[in-house]
Structure formats: structure tokens, C-alpha cells
Structure 1
Amino acid sequence: MSRAEVSVAVFGWFVLTMWSTAGTSLADEAGTPNKRQPNIVFILADDLGWSDTSLYGTSDFYRTPNVQRLARRGMTFDRAYAASPLCSPTRASILTGLSPARHGITSPNCHTPTVRLQSVVKQNAAAHQFSIQPDPVTRLDPNHITIAETLRTAGYATGHFGKWHLGAEPYSPLQHGFDIDVPHWHGPGPAGSYVAPWKFPDFDHDPDVPDQHIEDRMAQEAVQFMRQHRDQPFFLNYWMFSVHAPFDAKAALIEKYAKTVDPTDQQRCPTYAAMIESMDDAIGTLLDELDRLQVAENTIIVFASDNGGNMYNLVDGQRPTSNRPLRGGKATVYEGGIRTPAIVVWPGHVESGTTSGAMIQSVDYFPTLLDMLGMAPASDQLFDGISFVPALTGGAIDRDGIFTYFPHNPPVPDWLPPSICVHQDDWKLIRIFHGGDDTGHRYKLFNLRDDIGEQHDLSAMMPERVQQMDALIERHLRETGAVVPQANPSFDPKKYDIASEGAPAAKFLPGGASTKRRKSAKPVAGWQPAGTCELSIGDGKLLVHSTGGDPYFSYRLQPPIDETAFVLQMEITSNAGGSGQVFWQTEGGGPFTAKRSEVYSPTHDGDRHFYVIKFRTQGPLSAIRVDPATAVGDIQVHAVRLVTQDGRLVHQWAF
């Protein structure tokens, strides 16, 4: 069936059902209109960890009264899981109801220039890696049916606000079922900063609010959408930028939290706490408007996060947050990377202020929302998730397990090699692809009821349970058609330290041994190394060796370039990890600062990647600084070019 035929089928089924289902029909037998279908508001936070709100009693530092308002109106889930420990895969799963193993987006690379709609198996890997990672999909394939398309066909107004990160045109929200998309931005985070002025290509802050926060503005835009469509069902998809990097916030809020820091508490980052408060304020703006419009009693609200809390960047000299009592965080399949807050509000159906221990996942939201609306999927549509409506109404849900497929190994704290895990009741099995003897798989088994911190691996003691749960993994990979890691024939066991798995690396600890900076290194090809960075030249490339978590190198332009709109183009190969950032200085403009920088998301898979960083200056450009990673590793810079935004080459570096 073609995509157009699927849309017609959904619409036809919807009309038939709505005229025949008691309680949700468009008209009763006498032809009198009945209550319309409920509105849907889906609020997705970015990188918000399980312990980053006041929901679960794990922190006294954060203040989230509006998240608590949501909880009082609906059901809080203690065991809600993201489909992936990174953002883009989870976002694709929410929209499609499909596992990352099936849709193929397994890393957050949807902003990169490469367009790839099918995962592929690479041919080789470095000798210290025992598995070869696949190259993932880089755009949400328009052939996948999304919840927005289904709802729009059923008569809903659909609007997307905030972060997307599933592809620029022609893969934007506008091509996936949304009537509007604000700010129509494909990047991994807000453009430039959270506090105005921003650097979105076609979206400016309010001129009368010079320090406007992006979430304040997104909430205002969302409110306008609700007002415009108050007389018809609407689907408001508010995917927040918060609390993803770059880490900045309203100055007054940072100062407020700096006064309440407990140095003995693992959650003690004032900037991060300020970011969470702005996130919470935006939620309050939406709730206030739903109440003012008198549509709250006919509005389903979902609140979730795309993955666990960030433990590998440094902010205010420390990690942004802690996921305690969970192990690990963003970019690992330990609980801290995939267990997230979740609340569902469904007036008249969900008892207010309740909690549930049911295990739910991102892939479940699409089928659950259809079930809540009395709708069915298209005739040939598959879901990897299930409806958890029974849990919402006080019952139990029956499922074999949930699966998290993550065939990558970014070297973050508590990292793991390419893996997949399955949760079944209180048990969790992690399969490490080809990490065992003779290229076989290796396993970690945990009982989360007794060991929520995943400290006691029971796999050696319970081989039968490992075998039974691994059979579920194998079935999931087979049914989804996953492109899986292959054994690396070039693997050299002498080059792999198994003891490093899961251990927080010193380079990520404030004051750790690897934070020592090089202060007197000589420039290489004009680039000055600093932080935990060593530079050399080899084979026509600038070789960057990172010895810790803060490598960077800078170049002074003599004379300064009298332009204001630039594009820095870089071709880089890296096996390090973490985020990247480009800073600039202007003539007489002071030192490198976060306000004069752009964050980008490098891919650290050992392959060559092309990056384009656009920026504007307030005067002649005098210096550039590149922070290519936040982890130990080796980076090869093949080429660097600086052009104006109208395409004129102004500087090129040859190595």
C-alpha cells in the first residue's frame, strides 16, 4: 500500500469508527454533535534525568512545582524508559512507535550533511575494538507513518515547537505531519544559547525582551497555537531544548541556586538547576493556558524525557547532574541513561495523583494515544510498542520485555561497548556484541528490584536466565531487521582493557588527574594547543591527541578579517568523545567566552566527517578556537576552511 493509500485508509477507518463508537462519536443517533476528541499536548524534555525533578524524592536541589502540578493531575510512572540513551533515536521512536533497531536512527547525527536512510555495515574497525559498529540512519524516513500524520488526517491541528533533530528540509516536521514548526531548526540544541540573542536563521527574540529565554518564547508560541485552535482538536508537540547543552541560563536564577548549593550533594550545579527552573516555568505557562481556555478537562498531556541525565560535560567546574541512585547517564544503557521521568494526564480516565510501577517505553506512546482516542493504526502499520492504557486505568500490562538497542560506544562515564539490553519484570540483561571469548557475546545480568544501581552482575550465577532473556534479544533483532555490530577480524585483545568498562574515567571528574593543562606548548602550523591537547603534523593532517576532558587549540588571524558573517568548515576523524564547540574573538573584543561560541555535535566513530559551523561576529574576526571533544582520544583534522556566508574563501589551513 502506498503512503497516500495508508493516509486514506486511516482517515476512512477513523470516520467509520467515530460515527459508531459510543462516547467518542462525532454525533449521536439523533444527529446532535457530541464532545469532540481530546486535545493532546506532548512535552518532551531533552536530557532530563530520572533524578532531575522533585518527582521521585532523589533531590532537594531542583525546584519543579509545575511538574508536580502535572503529577497531581495524572499518573506518574516510576519505570519509564527512553528507547535510546541518546536523543534522536528516542524522538524517532516516539513519532513512529518503532524501535531504533527498526527505524535505524541509533545516534544523534541527524544534523550532519550525510543523508542515509538505511543502516549499513562498515567493513573495518580499529584494532582496540572487538566489534564493528554499523553506520546509522541520519534522517527520519518519510515512509514511516508518524503520530502527527495520523492525527492530522483525523482532523487535528498539529504543531511542533522546539527541538527536532531528525533532519532538515525535506525531513523537517513539515514533511512528517505537522502544520507548523517553530523555530524550524534542525540542530542538536538551541542556536547559540538559551538566552537571547539567539542565532536561528529565521527566528528572532522579541525586541522588547533582550534577554528572553528560549523556553519562555517557545511556550508563548505554543500558547498562540492553542488559542488559534481551541475550537478543534489539536496536537501540540512541545519538544523542549532544555536541558541540553549549551549550558547557560538566566543570570538571576543561576545566582539564586548558587546560594543554595550543598557541596556534599552530587546535584550542585547552579546553572543546570536554573535551566531546569526555566523548563518548569514553560510547563506552567502551558497548564495555565489550558485552564484559561477551559480545555484542560478535554486534554491528554504526556510529559517525558528523551534520555537520561548528562554526566559527561563539565559545567561550573562539575558535571551537570547526577542520576543517583541509578548507574551511568546519557549515552549508556545503564539505568541512568535510559530511565526517565514520565507523567500521563487523561482527565476522566486516569485517577489524579497516582503512580504506577508499570514498565513503559518511548515506543509505546503512539499505540497508547491511538488506544486512548479509540483509533486503530493503518492496516499495514507495525508497532514495536504496545498500548499501556490498562496501566493508566489501574490494571496491568502484559509484555515479554522492552529493548534498548545502542550499537555505539561513546567513552562517557560508565560507558559500555556496542550493546543491547532487555528488561523483563525486575530483570535486566545487557548483551555486549562480540565482547566474549572467540568473538561470542558477553553479558551482564542485574536484578533491579534488589540492585537498582546495577552493581552486582549475576550472569555467571544464572546462565539459564541469561539464555532465556538473550533469546528475546535475538528475536527482537530478527523481527526488526536490525543492522547489528559484526565481529572485528582485526581485533587485538592486547589493545583492549576490559577493566575500563563501566568505570567512571578520571578525565570526567573535576580535579581529576587528567585535568592537567599544557601551558607552554609551542604552536603547530600556527595552532596553539591548550587544555588537555597535544598537536603534531602527520600524513598531511593536524593530529590532535587529547589526554583528558578539555582539549582545544586556537589560531590568531593576522591581520583580523574585516567581515561579520562566517562559516567554518572542518573535515575531522575522531575516536574521542563528547560534544564540540567553536569559539571566536574579535579585534578588541575580549577573551573567548560562551557567548561567542557555537556548539556542534561531532561523531567519534573513527570515520571522516564534515562539519559546518556558522557564526556572526560583532567586529573584525581576530582568532578562532576549536574544542573538538570532551574526552581522551585521537583526532585527525584533514582540512579547515573559513569562508564568508556568501561563499567567499577567506582563509584555508593546509597541513
Structure 2
Amino acid sequence: MKSEYFSYYESEFLNQFAGSNKHFTSLICIVLLVLMSSSAWAASKPNVVFILADDLGWSDTTLFGTTNFYKTPNIQRLAERGMTFTRAYSSSPLCSPTRASILTGLSPARTGITAPNCHLPQIVLQATTSPTGPVNHKATFPNPVTRLDKKYYTLAEMFKDNGYATGHFGKWHLGSEPYSPLEHGFDVDVPHHPGPGPAGSYVAPWKFKDFDHDPLIPDEHLEDRMAKEAIAFMEQHTDEPFFLNYWMFSVHAPFDAKQDLIDQYKKNVDPTDSQRSPTYAAMIESMDDAVGTLLDTLDRLKIADHTIIFFASDNGGNMYNEVDGTSATSNAPLRGGKATMYEGGVRGPAIIVYPKHIQADSRSEEIIQSCDYYPTLLEMLSIAPQQGQNFDGVSIVPALKGKHLDREAIFTYFPHSPPIPEWLPAAVSVHSEDWKLIRIFFDGENGNHRYKLYDLKEDIGEQNNLALVKPEKVKELDLVIDEFLKDTQAVLPLPNPRFDASKYQPKLEGKSSLKGGARTPAKKPAKFLDKPVAGWQPDGDCSLALREGKLIVTSSGTDPYFSYALQVPVEKSDFEITLTFSSDSSREGQFYWREAGKPGGFHRDRSIRFDVNHDGQPHTYHLKWSTQSPLTAIRLDPSKSNGKITITSIKVTKSTGEAIYESDF
């Protein structure tokens, strides 16, 4: 590492050598001034605070004038201290790949972490191709990495090696021990939780393994507690440089918040506004309060002027989960949201603060991406990368100085296809100046790729696909994509030999409807369903098959489920379902039922969550419920991840013992 200033010994040597030569001394002074000016960013090891929000969309703050409902005064206060980026992108539309890119400076295409599956029990350190895929997809999906490999020299390890105290607070989702923050360069990890979101809820009591709420605050909010833990870390290390990695749980599901805040926002709901969930608005406010708590602490400790702050989101806003009877949020005027390749899935708020070095209350229209943050911090601190260490990101210091970034393009590699609104098959995209090209693998005619080309300067909502109008631009940008995939040695989708054209319907281009000045939440796309098996209809990330008298459930994602419609509704009663199955998947199960005359079909108010043992051995589960109207259908969600579930038997009985359904596999 080379400091911005000459070391004591270098200075003494120059003083002695130049003592009798005034001209040489003058020259040395000039050289020193130049060197000090060019590296003034790194003055005596400034502290670094990295705040990463979870699922915070581009329109979820007041930064861009896109919301009339949410309140984010502290994020606005942060923006007034530094530079806001209007075109900041996550490296992926889902969380774990982006988080890995921040810590390594590498694209998900290179690390192989392309899906948010780092909480799964299987340890996979090398991505591999998949020879087959779901029958309704033309391309296969690669098998992604499930842990952040310890071979990478992480951002935290860099800070630790350069004399910084390092602390991680909040969500991780890059692997449990031995791949936790403690094995990746952090001295402290609170609450040391490997899961994809909060354990149970945001409002205490929680369900973290070794992290309880304050007994004096029975309804303590998780983000308030995380901010307190971060404050304690800063107070402990005020006299030494520190790297505080505050990766918020907010505003990821589950959707709950302080009741008094929810009640306040209920009074301000505009039913014509696409952002109208009071629970989500309350979650936004608690997240913003935590940002304010950190800023207040930096001011109180009188270290704000000596602290670099990064604020960003790991992906776009969640516009498909239901909260308060509506979608969680809207990313309008952007199209799509979390888990999509459209702007709403990858474009989010970003602010960088460094008092006296970055102009306060400034903005930049330069394109930046989450893999840029590591090399940027190295340049800001005048720290050289390790020998042989390379990055897919670039330093954005020129942009922080108000200059243009010299870069050809940024890339998003997402070779997966969650069943969500604004659905797309496996794809990769490139942003180059105002142009964006999405390549959808093998989804065109005769096994060729399909393309979407947008001019974001004229069409920020990605409503007009120009691929057929500008074939030369498609060809130009597609070659750039080829170079990127080759350079990163990305594990690619393959043509799917199981593809069945009768079960496929390509997503049609269409303009989103406008209402109340913003695009209304998108509806779910048409499903591409397999035929029922033994009367059970597969849906979501699920396929069914019968084998040796058992129902085999294969989950290819995070939302497998299947349902059975009763031929004749059964009058209201108390019921019990007995399930026997084995599983090598993960996470909790959920059971739903449908009642005649009840709106919403399979609704969360008519469901039961239950713990599932995913050890590969058969287990029996008994679930009881009551109906207020005739029972018409049942649905089983046996897990929330990839894997195979083998069901031996399913039996549904009334309280009288009368069987109304018994499996005959």
C-alpha cells in the first residue's frame, strides 16, 4: 500500500539529499504538492460506512420526485451531504449476486452466484450447466454457486489488512459458517444470521438463533435494534478507522411494521396511487429512521467530516408480493421490479458522501454499478489492489469529481426465470450510454436468441422495443455481450431438449396502463402449466410425476406449489390434513384452502405455515383448520427452494373422521 503522503523515512531522505540545493528543494516541494493534491481523498484513513437497503426501489424514496406517499427525510438529508446517482444499477435483479459483487468487485457472471440461494443447505462453489430445463422454457438454467468462496479477497479483508476495524450488521445471505462474515474479513457480525430476510418478523419477538430483542422493549423494531448495534460499534472504534457494513434487512419481506406508523399511513392512502400499502410505507419510514440514527451518531461523535458513506440498494423494488391487498410498491415510471431484467429490477437509489471531497447536494447522470464500489474505495483511499487482483467494475472517482466516466458498458447476467410479473426467460443485458439491449437465450425462432432494444433517454419505461427497427445496433451491442460472457467465463444456458412448444407462450410486448400519473402494478403473466397429475395441478416452480406409487414434486425455484379442486364442495366444518413426505429442499411449508364465496382464491388469511424436516427421510405432518363456507380446493406449498419432495400419502378428513380426500398414487 502507498499512502498519500511520503513516509517519514522517505521525507528525511529527501530533506538530507536536497539540503544544499535550493532548486532541487523547490522541485521536490512542487512534486509533493502534486502528489498530495492527487491523493487527498485518503487523508489519514477516513472511516467508511456502507449502507445497503434490501429491495429498495428507484421510486421508494423522495430522491427523484416519484413518490407522494413514502417519507424519506434522512435519505434526503444524506443526499444533501454528497452526490446522488440517477443511473445506479445493481449487478443483479436479486440480492445475493449483488452482495457478492459489492464484496468482490466482480460480476455474478464471474463468481457464479447468479441466484439468491446462498441459504440453501447444499454447498456449491462452482457453477455448472444444466442439460435439461422445464418443458415450458426454450433454454436450460445453469446451476449457480451457493456460497461466497473464501478464495476471493473481499472488501472487508482489504480494510482489515489496512488497519481498519470491520463490522457487519444486518443481512448477509452469502452463506453460513464457514462462509459467514466472520470468515470473510469482519471482526463482528450481528445478528450472525444466514437467511434471506428477518427471522420471523421486524417487530419483536423475533426468531433469530442467538439474537433476542431488548426485554425492556417488547415490541422492538429490528431496524431500530440494528442501528443501536451499529452505534455501539462506531463508539467503540472512534479512535481508529472503521469499516461499518450496515446491510439492512429492510424493506424485504415479511411485510410488517410498527402499528402506529401503519395507522398513520392508512389515513393518507390514495386508492388511485400505485404506491398505496400503509405497511410498506411504514417499513420505508423505519428504514429511513435507521439512516438518520447513523447520521446523528457520526455528527455527535464529530467524525462525520472524516467518514465516507455509501448508500445503495441490492436490487429493484418488490412490485409483485401482495401487502394490504395490493402490490408492495411500484417502480413507476420504470418497468418491472425485483427479479426482472427491466429497469425496475436493477435500477435504484445510490448516494456517496465524503465531506470536502464530494460536492454536497450534487447529482450525476453517469452509469454506475454495484461492482464499481470496491475499486472506487481503493482509489479514494489510495490503496493498491493485490497483485493479480482484477475487477469487473471500475473506479467511479471521476464521476465523484463531476467528470465523465470512461467506460464502454455495464452488464447484468441473470440466467434464471422466476414466475413473476414482467416475466422474462434466462437473459443477459448491456447498458451502453442511453442504449439497453436484452438478449433472451434461445428464445427466438429456430433456436436463435431473442432481443429487446430500448433507448432509455426517450423511453425510460421500456415500452418500445426497437430491436427490429435498429438491427445494426442490436448486432453491435450483442457482440459486446459476447465479449463480456467470454471474459467472465460465464456458465451459460443451453438449448433445452425437453422444450414442449405446446406449453410455451412468449411474453408479448405491450404498453403498461397508466393510472393516477403512475403505472399500475403489473398483473401476473399467463402461466405455462403442466397437465394435472393424479388430480393435482402443478404451478409456480413445480412439476409433478408419479413413480412407484408416490407423487414426485420437483421444485426448480423458490415457490413450488400444487392444488387439488374438490369435485363437490364440502360444507363448512373442522378439517384435518395428514401428509407424509420426504424432502431434500429447504425452508418452511405452507398449506392453503379455498372456500366458496370467499374473495382472493387461495389467500394468506386461509393458510397454515408449518415447519418441514428436509433431511430426505419421510415424516408425517398433521394440520387442522376450520372453514366458514363450503371447502372447494386445497393447495400445498411444501418448501421455498430447489429440491425434490416425495409424497407417500395425503388424507383430508372432517372432524367426524369422514374422509373427503385420500390419495391413490
For Structure 1 versus Structure 2, the TM-score category normalised by the shorter chain is 0.7 to 0.9
Instruction: Give the whole-Å Cα distance in 1 for the aligned partners of 2:541 and 2:245.
Output: 42
**CA shift for structure 1 position 438:** 2.0
Corresponding residue for residue 92 of structure 1? 100
Instruction: Say whether the 8 Å CA contact 2:538–2:544 is kept in structure 1.
Output: no
1:22 correspondence with 2:28? no
Instruction: Give the whole-Å Cα distance in 1 for the aligned partners of 2:508 and 2:275.
Output: 25
**CA shift for structure 1 position 594:** 11
Partner residue of 1:224 out of 229, 232, 241: 232
CA-to-aligned-CA distance 1:104-138 (integer Å, 9 cap, x gap) = 00000000111100100111123321111100000
Corresponding residue for residue 139 of structure 1? 147
**CA shift for structure 1 position 270:** 0.5
Corresponding residue for residue 354 of structure 2? 346
Instruction: Say whether the 8 Å CA contact 1:196–1:212 is kept in structure 2.
Output: yes
Instruction: Give the whole-Å Cα distance in 2 for the aligned partners of 1:569 and 1:626.
Output: 18
1:369 correspondence with 2:371? no
Instruction: Give the whole-Å Cα distance in 1 for the aligned partners of 2:522 and 2:473.
Output: 40
Corresponding residue for residue 77 of structure 1? 85
108-117 vs 35-44, which moves further: 35-44
Structure 1 residues 481 and 65, CA gap change in structure 2 (3 angstroms): same
Q: Read off the aligned partner of 2:427 and give its amino acid letter.
A: S
Q: Read off the aligned partner of 1:70 and give its amino acid letter.
A: L
1:181 correspondence with 2:181? no
Corresponding residue for residue 327 of structure 2? 319
Instruction: Say whether the 8 Å CA contact 1:551–1:629 is kept in structure 2.
Output: no
Instruction: Say whether the 8 Å CA contact 2:421–2:524 is kept in structure 1.
Output: no
Instruction: Say whether the 8 Å CA contact 1:514–1:532 is kept in structure 2.
Output: no
CA-to-aligned-CA distance 1:130-163 (integer Å, 9 cap, x gap) = 1111000000010011100011000000000000
Corresponding residue for residue 541 of structure 1? 551
Structure 1 residues 96 and 431, CA gap change in structure 2 (3 angstroms): same
Corresponding residue for residue 54 of structure 2? 46
Instruction: Give the whole-Å Cα distance in 2 for the aligned partners of 1:416 and 1:511.
Output: 14
Instruction: Give the whole-Å Cα distance in 1 for the aligned partners of 2:491 and 2:170.
Output: 31
Q: Read off the aligned partner of 1:541 and give its amino acid letter.
A: L
Corresponding residue for residue 413 of structure 1? 421
1:483 correspondence with 2:466? no
Structure 1 residues 65 and 654, CA gap change in structure 2 (3 angstroms): farther
Structure 1 residues 438 and 39, CA gap change in structure 2 (3 angstroms): same
**Unaligned residue ranges in structure 1 (runs of 5+):** 1-13, 516-523, 561-567, 574-578, 585-590, 601-608, 613-619, 642-652
Equivalent position SS for 2:323: coil
CA-to-aligned-CA distance 1:33-83 (integer Å, 9 cap, x gap) = x95200000000000000000000000100000000100000000000000
Instruction: Say whether the 8 Å CA contact 1:326–1:335 is kept in structure 2.
Output: yes
Equivalent position SS for 1:88: helix
CA-to-aligned-CA distance 1:185-236 (integer Å, 9 cap, x gap) = 0000000000000000011000000000110000000000000001111000
**CA shift for structure 1 position 542:** 6.8
Instruction: Give the whole-Å Cα distance in 2 for the aligned partners of 1:581 and 1:282.
Output: 32
Q: Read off the aligned partner of 2:120 and give its amino acid letter.
A: T
Corresponding residue for residue 403 of structure 1? 411
Instruction: Give the whole-Å Cα distance in 2 for the aligned partners of 1:109 and 1:252.
Output: 34
Instruction: Work out the percentage of aligned pairs sharing the same amino acid.
Output: 54
Equivalent position SS for 2:322: coil
**Unaligned residue ranges in structure 2 (runs of 5+):** 14-41, 514-519, 528-533, 566-572, 593-602, 617-621, 627-633, 650-662
Structure 1 residues 552 and 342, CA gap change in structure 2 (3 angstroms): farther
Structure 1 residues 162 and 132, CA gap change in structure 2 (3 angstroms): same
Q: Read off the aligned partner of 1:385 and give its amino acid letter.
A: G
Equivalent position SS for 1:135: coil
Corresponding residue for residue 456 of structure 1? 464
Corresponding residue for residue 233 of structure 1? 241
Partner residue of 2:138 out of 105, 124, 130: 130
Structure 1 residues 654 and 285, CA gap change in structure 2 (3 angstroms): farther
Q: How does 1:192-231 map to 2 (within 5 A)?
A: 192-231=200-239
Q: Name the count of aligned residue pairs.
A: 579
1:169 correspondence with 2:152? no
Instruction: Say whether the 8 Å CA contact 1:192–1:199 is kept in structure 2.
Output: yes
**CA shift for structure 1 position 168:** 0.3
Instruction: Give the whole-Å Cα distance in 2 for the aligned partners of 1:592 and 1:451.
Output: 37
Structure 1 residues 372 and 639, CA gap change in structure 2 (3 angstroms): farther
Structure 1 residues 597 and 294, CA gap change in structure 2 (3 angstroms): farther
Corresponding residue for residue 381 of structure 1? 389
Q: Read off the aligned partner of 2:551 and give its amino acid letter.
A: K
Equivalent position SS for 2:479: helix
Q: Read off the aligned partner of 1:328 and give its amino acid letter.
A: G
Equivalent position SS for 1:417: coil
Instruction: Give the whole-Å Cα distance in 1 for the aligned partners of 2:560 and 2:147.
Output: 30
Instruction: Give the whole-Å Cα distance in 2 for the aligned partners of 1:514 and 1:475.
Output: 34
Instruction: Give the whole-Å Cα distance in 2 for the aligned partners of 1:534 and 1:142.
Output: 33
Instruction: Give the whole-Å Cα distance in 2 for the aligned partners of 1:29 and 1:596.
Output: 71
Instruction: Say whether the 8 Å CA contact 2:422–2:522 is kept in structure 1.
Output: no
Instruction: Give the whole-Å Cα distance in 2 for the aligned partners of 1:436 and 1:531.
Output: 25
Instruction: Give the whole-Å Cα distance in 2 for the aligned partners of 1:164 and 1:258.
Output: 32
Query: RMSD in angstroms over aligned alpha carbons?
Result: 4.2
Corresponding residue for residue 506 of structure 2? 498
Corresponding residue for residue 565 of structure 1? none
Instruction: Give the whole-Å Cα distance in 2 for the aligned partners of 1:421 and 1:556.
Output: 52
1:332 correspondence with 2:340? yes
253-262 vs 123-132, which moves further: 123-132
**CA shift for structure 1 position 549:** 11
1:292 correspondence with 2:275? no
Instruction: Give the whole-Å Cα distance in 1 for the aligned partners of 2:541 and 2:395.
Output: 50
Instruction: Give the whole-Å Cα distance in 1 for the aligned partners of 2:234 and 2:350.
Output: 23
Instruction: Say whether the 8 Å CA contact 2:174–2:180 is kept in structure 1.
Output: yes
Partner residue of 1:445 out of 429, 450, 453: 453
Structure 1 residues 440 and 310, CA gap change in structure 2 (3 angstroms): same
Q: Read off the aligned partner of 1:37 and give its amino acid letter.
A: K
Instruction: Give the whole-Å Cα distance in 1 for the aligned partners of 2:168 and 2:300.
Output: 21
Equivalent position SS for 1:300: strand
Partner residue of 1:58 out of 52, 63, 66: 66
| TM-score, structure 2 normalization | 0.79
Q: Read off the aligned partner of 2:188 and give its amino acid letter.
A: I
**CA shift for structure 1 position 499:** 3.9
Instruction: Say whether the 8 Å CA contact 2:375–2:391 is kept in structure 1.
Output: yes
Q: Read off the aligned partner of 1:144 and give its amino acid letter.
A: Y
Corresponding residue for residue 159 of structure 2? 151
CA-to-aligned-CA distance 1:313-351 (integer Å, 9 cap, x gap) = 111111000000000001111000000000000111100
532-541 vs 415-424, which moves further: 532-541
Instruction: Give the whole-Å Cα distance in 2 for the aligned partners of 1:286 and 1:26.
Output: 36
Structure 1 residues 81 and 630, CA gap change in structure 2 (3 angstroms): farther
Instruction: Say whether the 8 Å CA contact 1:243–1:279 is kept in structure 2.
Output: yes
Corresponding residue for residue 628 of structure 1? 637
Structure 1 residues 164 and 572, CA gap change in structure 2 (3 angstroms): closer
Instruction: Say whether the 8 Å CA contact 1:570–1:640 is kept in structure 2.
Output: no
Instruction: Give the whole-Å Cα distance in 1 for the aligned partners of 2:263 and 2:639.
Output: 26
Equivalent position SS for 1:44: strand
